[in-house]
Structure 1
């Protein structure tokens, strides 16, 4: 079972809850005296759903959790089939009640499919008992796995790669000159606003952090602002931690672990008072407006023209924090992506020294789709390889074939996926059913989602 299918369980559970609480279905549940059993299902499934976020994380490294999720998915689909049979039976009875005005051909067809009332009741009770037994086992196994409950928000996990810094080697970055000019222009233009927040948004691996680094180290920018600071925010938007790191970046003052948020914010406010400052908040995920308004209080003491640049792959962050239109970072051009690849693979800017590898290199870069992180990882895999067969193997490999310790592409993609709402996870998971390179129309895909009850 795929990782995406397992993570889609949270969205599928919502579909089950909607059916279990449907007034139309609840009527037939009560008629057949199975409402008490199905009410227990709803309560048990709600308790199980609380640990799904933790299970989705742990199944990557724990085979027992992965197996538990597989059993849970099978049970959820079987329970959904039972509820669909109840819905069909409810429709059959409704048609029977309106027999005088309804085609008897339709009624006979449905009767042939689901059988008589007595057959239906006997069959459903047997299936419900089977689900009850399996559900009890899943609950028992859940306790043995010691999965942690999540109160409703996303599980915050420690990032598996180091935080960013402001350092960058400009001679080794490619294809972002125009983007840099545009962001620098936004930073240097005069403004009547006390504080402007400029979001840079784009998918993971596009180079948002690199662009922010280029801007941060620009001489004209450095001369324009009185103070500068760089802080990597990541998934954990903790105001106490962030205020400490921001204050430290502005002042280089050692942290005092006993300081309160109030004392830190007062000190930061005094430091920024009447100063024109630039703050880079890299890799932001927070969409909580209240948290953001609390964090930004000290920044409002700065001079006119103070700027904050936020990098994020989440458009929800731009509406929460931004005061200007977000700057949407696009993919690199093919030539720029090729230079990134050859730099990391051959320590060169072209294939002049290795013409026999050019054909494979060009095709590998085409697979990168303008994403510099992909070009960097694939180039790094081939850094010590000069054999045509090794390059062909990388060309024919899938992204999931790349060992995690040799690249962070999967981690970057999975983090973006984890932050999708549960109902969108299930829609996204459906796309994995299509063969590689299969083309489909957006409208057709939405109709398929609707047919599956996803939207």
Structure 2
């Protein structure tokens, strides 16, 4: 989501504004960093301020999408520039990299300024018309069509959650939604959360995403920022008190997205006062036992169902062909592809998006067999995806290069990508999630030469099967910002094709194991392995 990327970029800028850091030396660069930080803070307040009522809901959605797109590009520019400074191996190159960083920073400031102005305009228009807007809901035919299309096959789910949120029960009520990854839990929660009528019923709103590795301080900061506007470092106890006081006596709606443990819930529920004022907590999880644990007797957990074959087909054709009909020659193969998605909305959307990039609307082929010729694929998303859609159900026999961004695929299913027979390049940026990557002996990336892992912040252990060749052709390994990883598997040192290992911003254990691998390679007669280690820069 845009908020996570925005928070990440703001954190980076805060580090750059600290004294004695090596990146920002020129006063002009410091000015750009400070200006960008201030503009991003405006956007963060806008995203945090969930009291946004406006007559033009679609304008609001458009601005939020604009913020997301701008922030992702901005973060990539900043991170890339900083990486160039780190990798510069002499004073002259470092000076050039610093100058380039200043130029990129100026572009980012200009890019961010546009959505900032749009946000300010919305804020100005909002004041003075609040009471009138609270009494209205979108009713134009155009908006009805848009809202209907965004929840294809979820109408019954939407109505159930809508009714529970707006019920007359006074007691604080937890409403859990559970189901497997990619089935649409977050989409459903977001749709209800953004509904104008639902928002008008509550004084305070907040959305927090937890994921598998629960971070209490980050959760408290996000809620405190949404509820009170406070966004500064303090102890957990202070944050809990601020959140509790901010919610006390107010009717609130809190969404807790993607919770993985009952322990996380036990820690969280203490900050939510029960004032018998019809406050609600909407919670999503993949695990039924957690949904059962947090649910109230009057509102059993809601199981997010798979899409029916008809709804799956409607969603697929809507995303791929927009308002046009699917050409008759493509119906049979299209329905076969949709069937393989097994009713998972996210899989259907990703497949449709993939095909949409491949197919030229004016020159549609007779079948989707064009996928067999696909050599390069780049998937970028803000939600989890199931890799089965590209590794098993759709044949991509010639895929050579796969780049994933923001997909958050669990490590235990990354191994399915080994089913791509000609994959040579695997590049993952925020693409994989989880603490452990265990590669079993029957998993072999037969032709993989380049493995690049970026920002897998929670990966702790990477294990290869003893005595097996999981990566027999690997030539280049890049690890960037894996602070929790304990070490590189020793068996990497037994791969005779390995030529280069580059490590940036990883822990000392990774650095030590990389040096051991270099020694192992030299003992095998390979003195050409290039090892580059760039330590964490605070």
**Normalising by structure 2, what TM-score?**
0.42
Compare the two structures and name the one with the higher helix fraction.
1
**Normalising by structure 1, what TM-score?**
0.49
Higher normalized contact order (CA 8 Å, seq sep 6+, divided by chain length): 1
Is the radius of gyration larger for structure 1 or structure 2? 1
Compare the two structures and name the one with the higher strand fraction.
2
